[in-house]
Amino acid sequence: MIRCECPKEAVSQSNFSPGIVANDEMIVYALVNPLTSSVGQISKSQLKEARLSVCRASYITGPSAKQKTVDVLLASNVTRTHEGYLKATCEEIRGVKLGRSTTGAFCVIDDALKDYSAHAHLGYSEPSDPKLRNDRETARANLMLVFKKRGVSTVWAGDPFIK
């Protein structure tokens, strides 16, 4: 289903991608302190740029997912710590609305890398109207509720990681 607020969702963004992100896919958001461990710490600037990195759990093994999401961040700064991961279905993420409208607040866009085909981006949907500031704040907070619904997981296992 094509969503007007997320035109990029409808077209695969990378030659390395397994395809556009389907609603039934599980999306993993790695928690690395201090980058992403606190309740509200989903970077707004990354959401605005549609560059919040997440992992498509159907297209990667558990250990590889950890390597690509957590280990990379830990390697670049020794003060960081790994605190597990959150997960939500793509449908749940796309189901977060902007204010009282029926417009989806977030887009889930495939953005596979050559050595990381399960890579995807989350971003705010269009338009980027400053008057929607409170609605976007609300959407971000509700996105965290969606992610937190299943709790924090710490086991990076499975092939695929999560089916």
Partner 1 sequence: MTELIRSQMANETHSTWSTSATLESLSSATTDATSLTKFLHSAVVMGTVAAVLTPLPALAARQKFGDLDHNIPAPDDAADPSLDLIDEHYVYRSAFDSNSSVFENSGVLFKLQGGKITMRQHRTLKTNHVDSKPAARLKPGLPAFRTRLPVTSASTSGRPLCSVNVKDLTVNVRTPLNSDPLVRALENVHSLSLNKDALTFAGILRDLTWQPEVWADDSEVVFEWIGDGRHAVASIEGDGRIGYTLMIDGQFVSGADADASVTTLPADLKEYLTKTA
Judged by the rule CB under 8 A, the positions of this chain that interact with partner 1 are 38-41, 43-45, 99, 130-131, 133-138, 140-142, 145
Identify the CA nearest to 120 among candidates 108, 129, 106, 107: 108
Instruction: Name which of 38 and 154 has its Cβ closer to partner 1.
Output: 38
Smallest separation, CB 124 to partner 1 (Å): 12
Smallest separation, CB 130 to partner 1 (Å): 8
Burial 70-102 (b: 16+ CB within 10 A, else e): bbebeeeeeebebbebbbbbbebbbebbbeeee
* Token representation of residue 120: 């995807």
Smallest separation, CB 77 to partner 1 (Å): 13
Report DSSP letters for 36-55, one per residue.
S-STT---HHHHHTT-EEEE
Contact in structure between 98 and 104 (CB atoms under 8 Å): yes
Instruction: Name which of 126 and 135 has its Cβ closer to partner 1.
Output: 135
Smallest separation, CB 156 to partner 1 (Å): 26
Instruction: Name which of 67 and 81 has its Cβ closer to partner 1.
Output: 81
Instruction: Name which of 43 and 61 has its Cβ closer to partner 1.
Output: 43
Instruction: Name which of 71 and 135 has its Cβ closer to partner 1.
Output: 135
Smallest separation, CB 129 to partner 1 (Å): 10
Distances (CA, A) of 92 to 88, 105, 131: 6, 11, 25
